[in-house]
Amino acid sequence: MKKSLIALACLTAFSGITQAASVKVYGRLDAGLTSISGVGDNDQTLTGLAYGPLSSSRWGVKGNENLGGGYKAFFGIESEVHNDTGLSGGNNKTGSGAGSVYWKRKSIIGMNTPVGKFTFGLNKTIDKVLASKYDMVGSNFAGFKTMSDYIAIGDRIDNAIFYESPKLGTGGKLYFERMFGEVAGESEANTRTGIAATFKFGDAQAFIAYSEAKGALGADDWDQYGFGVQFKTPQKIVLKAQYWDLSNDTAADTSGLGFSADGEGYSISAMGPISKHTKIGLGYHHSEQTENSAEKISMTQLAVLHSFSKKITGYAMVGTLDNGSGANHELHKKGFSSQAGNGVDQDGFTIGMRVKF
């Protein structure tokens, strides 16, 4: 009897540990048949299979353990997957200058506490997160986050700490992040710092954000602010708008994250349902160097998304891109060598599917 009770107690304790800790493999694969005209200096057409038109393909491992008392430890590692060719990882162009790495998208550990969430390692900046959320669908094809040459909305930072507050009375949260330059004797050298606040009032949401970067000797490189709003109508149409402004302070470029000119960008969009499982949206995006009219880009995007299930989404997107006379941007960069020549405009489409797991 005593042995049975001991065995039962051990089994109960082990079950409690198993429930408290969890590890999960997750990801998504996204591929689309894509065709873009205006490629190169000779205005050619490129057709093929692109990965990640709707969202970047990825896989990762994440886990957490409930420590009790409002504390939960967690970790996450995540790699980019080029599912059109089988390649993985890539170059983040982060402040450390690590170059091409396998866990390109995320490499973190952290702790949820009663006073907020603390994260350490490599992760997206809050600017990147917000710019994607306040874009129509945050897509790689003709989406706002592809316009990061003039504004700092596409960065990941490493050797960094991140803080996210509990939900506040405004319905939103506060965010803080700091990338350490790790330069001996220079506490500000090659650093990037950001703060942001989000708000939620009924069917309306908003954000404000500020970030700055320092050069190799600690001198100011650039600073940036942004704000955005979104609103969901009674007809379930989601309206979004955002604006970002970057000021280049000196020629002291931050390693991997530097800017050499003032820039600004904005996006506006509307998306709503046309059936229970299908929605359609129209978005416009613009970004430019403030004092150089030759360096600018404008994109218009039409997107139709259909949910086959909670994890499988089909899509069709059409986009047009207008380059300034000194600009050579492209509608889609993921797994597609479609760069335009200077001043060459583009238009194109993609039809594909995204599978989450």
Residue with the larger pLDDT of the pair 197 and 338: 197
Please calculate the CA angle 158-160-165 and round it to the nearest 5 degrees. Answer: 130
Residues 104 and 79: beta-carbon distance below 8 Å:
yes
3-class DSSP state of 332: coil
Check: CB of residue 224 under 8 Å from CB of residue 152: yes
pLDDT (0 to 100) of residue 249: 85
CB atoms within 10 A of CB 196: 24
H helix or E strand, kind and range, residue 107:
strand 106-113
Q: What is the mean pLDDT of residues 92-99?
A: 79
194-205 mean pLDDT? 98
Strands 21-39 and 58-68, how do they pair? antiparallel
Query: What is residue 13's three-state secondary structure?
Result: helix
On whether the CB atoms of residues 286 and 266 are closer than 8 A, the answer is yes
DSSP state of 54: S
Report how far residue 338's alpha carbon sits from residue 349's, in angstroms, rounded to the nearest whole number: 13
Q: How high is the pLDDT of residue 6? A: 46
- Which residue type sits at 63? G
What is the model's pLDDT at position 260? 85
73 CB contacts (<8 Å, ≥6 apart)?
Answer: 64, 65, 67, 109, 110, 111, 112
Q: What's residue 21's pLDDT?
A: 82
Enter the tokens of residue 337.
């060598």
Spatial contact of 70 and 114, defined as CB atoms under 8 Å apart: yes
Question: What per-residue confidence (pLDDT) applies to 245?
Answer: 98
- Tens of pLDDT, residues 245-268: 999 987 667 766 778 899 999 999
Percent of the chain residues past pLDDT 90, beyond the cut:
77
pLDDT at 20 over 80: no
Tell me, what's the pLDDT at 257? 77
Task: Evaluate if residue 92 carries a pLDDT over 80.
Answer: no
Q: Which residues contact 84 (CB under 8 A, 6 or more apart)?
A: 31, 49, 50, 51, 335
Query: In the structure, what pLDDT confidence band is assigned to residue 10 with cuts at 50, 70 and 90?
Result: very low
Looking at residue 126, what is its pLDDT? 98
The phi, psi pair for 2, rounded to 5°, reads: -65, -40
Cα–Cα distance, 147 to 68 (Å, whole number): 43
Q: Give me the chain's average pLDDT, please.
A: 92
pLDDT of 95 over the 80 cut = no
Burial class (CB in 10 A: 0-12, 13-18, 19+), 153: buried
Ordered by where they begin, the domains of the chain are 23-356 (2.40.160.10)
Residue 7 is predicted with a pLDDT of: 44
What lies within 8 Å, CB to CB, of 292 at 6+ separation is 261, 326
pLDDT at position 3 is 44
Q: Is the pLDDT of residue 131 over 90?
A: yes
Residue 174 backbone class (left: φ over 0; alpha: ψ -120 to 50; beta: rest): beta
Given the structure tokens 């490493």, which residue do they identify?
A: 158
pTM (2 decimals)? 0.91
- Asked if pLDDT for residue 199 goes beyond 90, the answer is yes
Whether the predicted pLDDT of 175 surpasses 90 = yes
pLDDT band of 11, cuts 50, 70, 90: very low
Among 33-37, 61-65, 92-96, 219-223, which is the least confidently predicted range? 92-96
Q: How many CB atoms lie within 10 A of CB 10?
A: 10
* pLDDT for the residue 284: 98
- For the cut 90, the answer to whether the pLDDT of residue 335 exceeds it is no
Buried b vs exposed e over 276-298: b needs ≥16 C-beta within 10 Å?
A: eeebbbebebbbbbbeeeebbbb
What integer is the mean pLDDT of 27-37? 97
Give me the pLDDT at residue 153, please.
Answer: 95
Whether 117 shows a pLDDT value over 90: the answer reads yes
| Longest distance between any two alpha carbons in the chain, whole Å | 86
